[in-house]
Each structure stands twice: as structure tokens, then as C-alpha cells.
Amino acid sequence: MKARLKSIILSALGVAAIFTTVTVTSCNSDPCKAIICSYGGTCTEGDCICPSGYEGTHCEVVTREKYKGVWTVFENGTVNDAAQYEITFVNGEGATEMTINNFYNRFALNEVDVRVKGDTLLIPQQVVNNYTIEGWGTLDWEEFYPEHGVLTVYYKVTSPEGKTDDYGFNVGEPSVWNR
């Protein structure tokens, strides 16, 4: 009889332990409990929501860092002949702002302002040395070489005389920038 009573008590304790474990686990299953989002990101249902200028699983990547550096440009405009030259992306003021050296193979200083968001580039309309510039671009990274990518840039430059050199903005071929 003692063995049977002992068996009943152990079975009851086992069932109670399983019930308690399931209840506590289901009530406290916060998918954000163990997730830390960087750079002011916030966790929602287990995923980090990143502020503008940051990306990655935990907002750990500063978006503009993947653009920073020297790129080789290949382009053929509607006014200028085919050209190959280098430009350099330099960090700007905020997390999404950058400037470009040698844009259009003409502006040697950090004169052309751009904004980056994820894999897109925006060249807001601006006047630099009496030239009006505007455009946009998209970035494609090499799958096996993380430091290499291709930026396809659609832009136009209007000279002080009113001639527009178009690189896929309205007509012509887009400019291709490689790194």
C-alpha cells in the first residue's frame, strides 16, 4: 500500500510540475526579452525596428558605412562622351547624409550632398558651382564578396548654359559605379 501511495504522490507532483512549467512559460514568453537593438532601435514581437540610417538584425549596421570609400565610375552621358573615373563617398552630418568627391568627374571637393537609406541613394536637387544636379541610385552587393558592390545611378547635370547631361534620369544610360 505504501508503494502505491508513493506512486500516486509522485505522479501527482510530476503532473503539477509540468502544469506549472507550461503555465509559467506561456505567460512569460516575451519575444523581445533577450533581444537588444543597437542605435536606438526598438524591439517589436522579436524583431528590431531600426531608426533611419541603421539596419541589420539588431540595428548594428550604420547604413552609410557600406557606401563609404572609393568607387570606380563608368558612364556615357547624353552630352559628355564615355568616361571612367573615381569618386569618393565621405560621411556627412547625420546618419544618412554623405558627400561625394569628384562627382561628374568635375567637383573635386565634398560638394555634392547625398542621402542613403538601405540600398538606395538620393541626390537631392542642388546647385554646385552653378551646375544643377539631381538623381537617385540603387545598390546591389556581391553575394560572396561583402566589400564589393554595384551602384546604378540615374542623374542629370544641367550646366550654367542650360545644357542637360542625362545619365538615365530621363534618357540615356545610367551611370554604373563599382567597388
Mean pLDDT of 56-83: 93
pLDDT value for 3: 65
User: What is the average pLDDT value for the chain, to the nearest integer?
Assistant: 88
Whether residue 23 has pLDDT greater than 80: no
Q: Name the pTM for this structure.
A: 0.77
Q: Does domain 64-178 have CATH number 2.40.128.420?
A: yes
Mean pLDDT of 51-60: 92
Using CA atoms, how far residue 135 sits from 15, 97, 111, 114, 158, in Å, is 67, 15, 15, 9, 12
Provide the residue ranges of all domains of the chain, joining segments of one domain with +.
Answer: 29-59, 64-178
Q: Give dist(CA 41, CA 96) in Å, integer.
A: 15
